[in-house]
Amino acid sequence: MTTRKAALGGAVLILLAVLPFIPVGVQGLLPGPFSTSGTLQLMALCLVFGALALTYDLLFGHAGLLSFGHALYFALGVYVCNIVITHGGLSLIPAVLLTLGVGVVVSLAVGALSLRVKGIAFAMVTLSFAQAASVLVLLDPGDYTGGEEGLGLDTAKIPQAFVGVANTRNLYWLSFGLLIVVYGLVRWTASSEPGRAAKALRENEQRATVLGIAAFPVRLLLFTVAGTLATLCGVAYLLVIGSSTQQISDAHFSLTVLVMVVLGGLGSRWGVVAGGVLYHFLDDRLTALATTSFVHDLPAPLRAPLSQPLFLLGVVFIVVVLFLPGGIAGAFGHRSHQAAAIESLAGRFRRGTRQPT
């Protein structure tokens, strides 16, 4: 079985690597053949969101920490990198390194404060930080963020291999490389000693504490790693999109990432990648479907729901939760701990625990 999984995983990686060379597409599902710039950009963003879902699964699925503020670190990657390039004049590599440094510091600081409480209090504290960042972006202090209009990226400081429609193929490979790096780092972190300790704390905190595991530093380490990797995903998103938009700084974006993880299957790395890819793909294609003449010409009872992509996404999510409680991974026989983890978190919320870890 392990050999079969390895072979299947290798086949998927090879397929993703050669995707820009495939001159065919799926009529009605894709903007065009796989080799065209529109489809490649869509697939690049799908891979970025798959990697982002992985970072959140490390926090929620592995460590059992339900954060409502994970969008903060993704937005840091998008905005900080853009600001230091566009306003600061830095080239790409120094800008990325500086952005990752900011991601480490902010996630470490937010984690150190948020992890002083548990359960719903932890979720609300992380949400408050994300909301504060969203307000800061809207206020646009010093005309750095562009407010609601967003901030365009100064492509003069970006290597020409990543600029322009003609180089969408390179941006796709950049996103593909990001997914591989994030997957490898998440897997390594989960299997490391702190990762195993975090899993033990998730399963039974009292027993793990009695065995000598210090909950606070272990959780803080995983919180920081997840936040920093989310920052890296934000940098890749900036390069693919070419601008910073206020929507990705909104605290509600964290709920979107949560939906991706639950859709894919909590605790299954390949499952949450599939959830992130599928969610963004549906979001993009259902939005495109809503504007077509086919939907416009339908009778009102059919036109109304089909013209609302969020409604359709909500229906998909409800169907998955009701009939596939293990998410996409559960449908393929993966033993996801999704239901048990959600029930455990619900129990903690009901108890209203607020003691320091």
357 residues of the chain, pLDDT tens digit each: 577 777 888 888 898 889 899 888 777 788 888 889 999 999 999 999 999 999 999 999 999 999 999 999 999 999 999 999 999 989 999 999 999 999 999 999 999 999 999 888 999 999 999 999 999 999 988 888 888 888 999 888 899 989 888 899 999 999 999 999 999 999 999 999 999 999 999 988 888 888 888 999 999 999 999 999 999 999 999 999 999 988 888 877 888 898 899 888 888 888 999 999 999 998 888 877 777 777 677 777 777 777 777 777 888 888 887 887 778 887 776 555 554 555 454 455 445 444 444
- For 216-273, how does the pLDDT look when each residue is reduced to its tens digit (9 = 90+)? 999 999 999 999 999 999 999 999 999 998 888 887 788 889 889 988 888 888 899 9
Predicted TM-score (pTM) of the model is: 0.89
Q: In degrees rounded to 5, what are phi and psi of residue 243?
A: -165, 165
Two tokens, residue 192: 């490391």
The pLDDT assigned to 106 comes to 97
